[in-house]
């Protein structure tokens, strides 16, 4: 673990990790320190990294085993556990606040993004601390959220493959507040477009309530905004954050990220 430095980026969220080359094998103490730092800071930034796909998969294993991503048309050829985030194959930036893959029984513990090609301006990624978001809500609303559950499935984009719909669109129920498996804290947890409805509410009322929550909860002081540089790695704790992409960049320029999601635990509220 010699040389590892953790520097907080704000009082609420984010830390820069330096002194680590993620492309090289890391000892157990260093891997544990990085995993703990993610639970503490919720977003980790590593600069000046360079990977082969195999090295990138090994680095991501710090946070858990890789999960197969359900939009298989965007997976890297020959490396299906690495997703390609880029507009050149028809993807639109995911600009709504969300946490990844809530349509799985064991959703991701972490999303890991690696900046391969970066536009000259814009195209950043923002991450919000949903522990802080929960704590700022009125006490009676916190109590109510502790009782609510979402029913999740795929958000059925027009280019979703039939085999992905068959495999990943079965109803999955999760609590709207979950306890972090490592940190022990509680956070608001939902994906607005993968939530079919909140139990006991109509789909329309469910969407209206979630939109209202997002509007009230996500404030600048609980958000880390990452402006990409080539070679950056951003790791997001999906158990206690939401994130979004920003589409404010010139589409004649490339924005290519490699994405790996690491399997986590089944969300529970303790």
Tally of structural domains, the chain? 1
- With respect to residue 270, please indicate whether it lies within any of the assigned structural domains: no
- Cβ neighbors of 152 (< 8 A, separation 6 or more) are 102, 103, 171, 172, 173, 174, 191, 194, 195, 196
- pLDDT computed for residue 3 by the predictor: 85
Q: What is the pLDDT of residues 161-196, one digit of tens each?
A: 999 989 899 999 999 999 999 999 999 999 999 999
Q: Which residue from 67, 6, 1, 88 is spatially nearest to 39, judged by alpha carbons?
A: 6
What is the pLDDT averaged over residues 242-261? Answer: 95
Pairwise CA distance, residues 151 & 173, whole Å: 5
- Provide the residue range defining the domain that includes 125: 5-263
- Average of per-residue pLDDT across 20-25: 96
**Both tokens of residue 61?**
């294993």
pLDDT band at residue 263 under the 50/70/90 scheme = very high
Q: Confirm whether 269 is domain-assigned.
A: no
Q: What does the pLDDT read at residue 91?
A: 79
Specify the 3-state DSSP secondary structure of 109.
Answer: strand
Query: Is residue 93 one of the residues assigned to a domain?
Result: yes
Residue 115 domain-assigned? yes
Whether the per-residue pLDDT at 37 is higher than 70: the answer is yes
Confidence of residue 155 (pLDDT cuts 50, 70, 90): confident
Domain assignment of residue 268, yes or no: no
Quick one: pLDDT at residue 1? Answer: 63
**What is the tens place of the pLDDT at every residue in 103-122?**
999 999 999 999 999 999 99
Longest Cα–Cα distance of the chain, Å, equals: 54
What's the alpha-carbon Rg for the chain, to the nearest Å? 18
Give the CATH number for residue 9.
3.60.130.10
- Domain assignment present for residue 246? The answer is yes
Residue at 189 is within a domain: yes
Coil vs helix vs strand at 74? helix
pTM listed for this prediction: 0.96
Assess if residue 72 is contained within a domain: yes
């Amino acid at each position: 673990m010699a040389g590892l430095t953790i520097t907080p980026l704000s009082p609420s969220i984010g830390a820069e990790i330096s002194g680590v080359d993620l492309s090289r094998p890391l000892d157990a103490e260093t891997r544990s320190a990085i995993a703990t730092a993610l639970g503490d800071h919720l977003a980790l930034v590593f600069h000046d990294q360079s990977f082969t796909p195999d090295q990138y998969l090994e680095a991501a294993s710090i946070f858990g085993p890789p999960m197969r991503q359900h939009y298989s048309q965007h997976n890297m050829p020959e490396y299906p556990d690495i997703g390609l985030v880029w507009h050149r194959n028809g993807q639109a930036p995911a600009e709504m606040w969300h946490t990844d893959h809530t349509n799985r029984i064991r959703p991701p513990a972490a999303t890991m993004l690696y900046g391969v090609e970066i536009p000259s301006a814009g195209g950043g990624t923002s991450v919000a601390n949903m522990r802080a978001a929960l704590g700022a809500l009125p006490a009676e609303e916190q109590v109510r959220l502790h009782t609510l559950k979402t029913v999740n499935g795929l958000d059925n984009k027009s280019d979703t493959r039939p085999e992905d719909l068959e495999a990943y669109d079965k109803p999955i129920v999760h609590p709207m507040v979950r306890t972090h498996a490592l940190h022990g804290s509680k956070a608001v947890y939902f994906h607005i477009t993968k939530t079919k409805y909140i139990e006991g509410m109509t789909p329309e009322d469910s969407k209206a309530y979630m939109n209202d929550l997002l509007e009230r909860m996500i404030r600048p002081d609980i958000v880390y905004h990452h402006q990409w540089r080539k070679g950056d790695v951003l790791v997001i704790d999906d158990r206690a954050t939401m994130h979004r992409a920003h589409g404010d960049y010139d589409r004649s320029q490339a924005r290519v990220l490699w994405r790996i999601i690491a399997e986590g635990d089944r969300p529970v509220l303790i």
